Amino acid sequence: ALLITDDCINCDVCEPECPNEAIYMGPEIYEIDPNKCTECVGHYEVPQCKEVCPVNCIPFNPAWRETPEQLLAKYERLQAEA
Ligand code: SF4
């Protein structure tokens, strides 16, 4: 999963780009639900939020390292729930 750091300026551009609706406004800045973030696996070649963030504050979450296979399994679980 990806992570939004406290460099976030709340510009709102990433939230509509997420195909998994994993990005939401938290108490102070935007946040990413790691249970929903597939790093865009299943949807796009690269994470769309990272592409659009003007301050480059969306790194990989070191606490949620996942393999491509795990990300694809998450994608399939989310599709089944939708
Ligand atoms: Fe924050 Fe970057 Fe998203 Fe803008 S694009 S809301 S700066 S994480």
- Write the CATH number for 51: 3.30.70.20
Give the nearest ligand 1 atom to 58 CA. 8
Range of the domain at 21: 15-81
Q: What proportion of the chain, given as a percentage, has pLDDT over 90? A: 99
Protein residue with least CA distance to atom 3, ligand 1 = 14
Per-residue pLDDT tens digits for 2-18: 999 999 999 999 999 99
Q: Is residue 3 part of a domain?
A: no
Q: What ipTM goes with this model?
A: 0.95
Does residue 4 have its Cβ closer than 6 Å to ligand 1? yes
In testing the pocket of ligand 1, which one of 2, 3, 14, 56 has its CB within 8 Å of the most ligand atoms? 14
Q: How many CA atoms lie within 13 A of 43 on its CB side?
A: 19
Residue 50 to residue 69: CA distance in whole angstroms: 21
Per-residue pLDDT tens digits for 12-46: 999 999 999 999 999 999 999 999 999 999 999 99
Beta strands in 21-79 (DSSP E): 23-25, 30-32
Count up the domains in the chain and report the number: 1
* CA 76 to chain CA centroid, nearest Å: 16
